[in-house]
Amino acid sequence: KPVIFSGMQPSSDSLHLGNYIGALSQWVGMQQTFDAFFCVVNLHAITVPQDPASLVKRTRSTAAQYIAAGIDPEQSTLFVQSHVPAHAELAWVLNTLTGFGEASRMTQFKDKSQRHGSDTASVGLFTYPILMAADILLYQADTVPVGEDQRQHVELTRDLAERFNTRYGQTFTVPTPQILKETAKIYDLQDPTAKMSKSAATEAGLLSILDDPAVTAKKIMRAVTDTDGEIRFDRELKPGVSNLLTIFAVLAGRTVESIEREFEGRGYGDLKKTIAEQVTNTFTPIRERTNELLTDPAELDRILAKAADRASEVAEKTLATVYDRFGLLRRR
Ligand code: TYM
């Protein structure tokens, strides 16, 4: 079976609608046809300051949300990044293959370091994409299903894989990003030209899986639209309405055109009410199952430990080859 690898940062208690539409819901559909590795990337999360107790809690909560959304731990390898030391070890080797200028061109680092202030941004934040490359390459992943914001990082991963293969002999599969056009970028409800993100200015534009349904509905009813009153998809002129239409279409499994037709001549309030129902219908079972799973953290930890064993086996093999090729003397 071809291999897929993807991951999310446990940087808040709840995943948001962008994570769900851009990544998680796609992963669920790919489990059967791929040998799938889904990672909770806690080593990535610490590239910005985290409260230690919250990080532990969020790591379990993120894993629980994967399962609750339909990732089957019997079928896919669902594990925590720090449980497999090979990620940090390969990242170090890849650090030595990455140009300083090359890493400096990563736009997400530029954005994030600006937000955190360039003096307080950590070196870890700078080398973050290289750790991501290590994640992907350790498992010889063919395909990496992500949202648009990760495209540049997967491109860097491809460059590093090709560079390594050219200099040291065929070692890594060169991965392809899978970024679905319609779902690649879900926007903030309050600022529909910015992507929906945990680090947005206000909570009001962010739909979180674990939010109370009343809160979700309220956020949708207050979503920014426009004044022409027409329910029509136009990303340029009507970013708010277009974002709502995308969300509705994806979650309902419908086309945007069929929704435009159904709502012809009707108001934004009507549309929003229907979308609020759709989103809460999607989130409610996931939220309930997540909360159930979190009542038994020991069981969750057992699931994660078993998956870490399986992941380690694959990762250690790749790492050993890399060390040999690099001339890092093996311990005998
Ligand atoms: P993270 O945790 O920021 O986001 C997790 C996934 O959700 C997608 N996503 C979105 N998709 C559409 N619209 C949005 N508004 C939106 N916001 C987030 C992201 O594209 C991502 O797929 N660096 C990664 C985590 C990572 C990773 C990896 C991913 C680490 N190692 C290896 C793939 C392979 C990140 O920070 O994602």
3-state DSSP of the chain = CCEEEEEECCCCCCCEHHHHHHHHHHHHHHCCCCEEEEEECHHHHCCCCCCHHHHHHHHHHHHHHHHHHCCCCCCCEEEEHHHCCHHHHHHHHHHCCCCHHHHHCCHHHHHHHHHHCCCCCCHHHHHHHHHHHHHHHHCCCCEEECCHHHHHHHHHHHHHHHHHHHHHCCCCCCCEEECCCCCCCCECCCCCCCECCCCCCCHHHCCECCCCHHHHHHHHHCCCCCCCCCCCCECCCEHHHHHHHHHHHHHHCCCHHHHHHHCCCCCHHHHHHHHHHHHHHHHHHHHHHHHHHHCCHHHHHHHHHHHHHHHHHHHHHHHHHHHHHHCCCCCC
Output the CA 208–ligand 1 centroid distance in Å.
Answer: 15
Mean pLDDT within 270-291:
98
pLDDT recorded at residue 34:
98
- The chain-wide mean pLDDT, for the chain, equals 95
Are the C-beta atoms of residues 208 and 196 closer than 8 Å to each other? no
Tell me the torsion sign for CA atoms 198, 202, 203, 206: negative
198 lines ligand 1 (CB under 6 A): no
Q: Mind listing the pLDDT tens digit for each residue in 244-259?
A: 999 999 999 999 999 9
161 lines ligand 1 (CB under 6 A): no
Annotated catalytic residues are 112, 195, 198
Whether residue 300 is predicted with pLDDT greater than 90 in this model: the reply is yes
Output the CA 26–ligand 1 centroid distance in Å.
Answer: 12
Region of poorest pLDDT, from 47-61, 160-174, 179-193, 224-238: 179-193
The ipTM of this complex is 0.99
Question: Among residues of the chain, what percentage have pLDDT more than 70?
Answer: 100
Are the C-beta atoms of residues 140 and 173 closer than 8 Å to each other? yes
Q: 112: pLDDT confidence band, cut at 50, 70 and 90?
A: confident
Mean pLDDT within 289-318:
98
Tell whether 7 is in a known binding site.
Answer: no
Output the CA 324–ligand 1 centroid distance in Å.
Answer: 32
8 lines ligand 1 (CB under 6 A): yes
Whether residue 110 is predicted with pLDDT greater than 90 in this model: the reply is no
Q: Mind listing the pLDDT tens digit for each residue in 52-93?
A: 999 999 999 999 999 999 999 999 999 999 999 999 999 999
Q: 115: pLDDT confidence band, cut at 50, 70 and 90?
A: confident
Q: How many CB atoms lie within 10 A of CB 190?
A: 19
Mean pLDDT within 138-147:
97
Which positions ≥6 away from 106 have C-beta within 8 Å? 129, 152, 153, 156
pLDDT recorded at residue 118:
67
Mean pLDDT within 3-29:
96
Q: 297: pLDDT confidence band, cut at 50, 70 and 90?
A: very high
Question: Among residues of the chain, what percentage have pLDDT more than 90?
Answer: 91
223 lines ligand 1 (CB under 6 A): no
Whether residue 123 is predicted with pLDDT greater than 90 in this model: the reply is yes
pLDDT recorded at residue 119:
73
Tell whether 272 is in a known binding site.
Answer: no
Q: Quick one: which of 139, 125, 129, 145 has its CA closest to 97?
A: 129
State residue 141 phi and psi, 5-degree precision.
-65, 135
Q: 199: pLDDT confidence band, cut at 50, 70 and 90?
A: confident
pLDDT recorded at residue 212:
97
Mean pLDDT within 308-323:
98
195 lines ligand 1 (CB under 6 A): yes
137 lines ligand 1 (CB under 6 A): no
Whether residue 12 is predicted with pLDDT greater than 80 in this model: the reply is yes
Question: Which residue minimizes the CA distance to atom 27 of ligand 1?
Answer: 7
Counting atoms of ligand 1 from 1, which one is nearest the CA of 132?
31
Q: Quick one: which of 10, 26, 22 has its CA closest to 65?
A: 10
Whether residue 116 is predicted with pLDDT greater than 80 in this model: the reply is no
Question: Which residue minimizes the CA distance to atom 24 of ligand 1?
Answer: 8
What order of strands is seen across the sheet that includes strand 35-40?
A: 77-80, 35-40, 3-8, 143-145, 176-178
Counting atoms of ligand 1 from 1, which one is nearest the CA of 141?
34
pLDDT recorded at residue 179:
94
Residue where the block lists tokens 């529909």: 192
Specify the length of the chain in residues: 332
pLDDT recorded at residue 332:
86
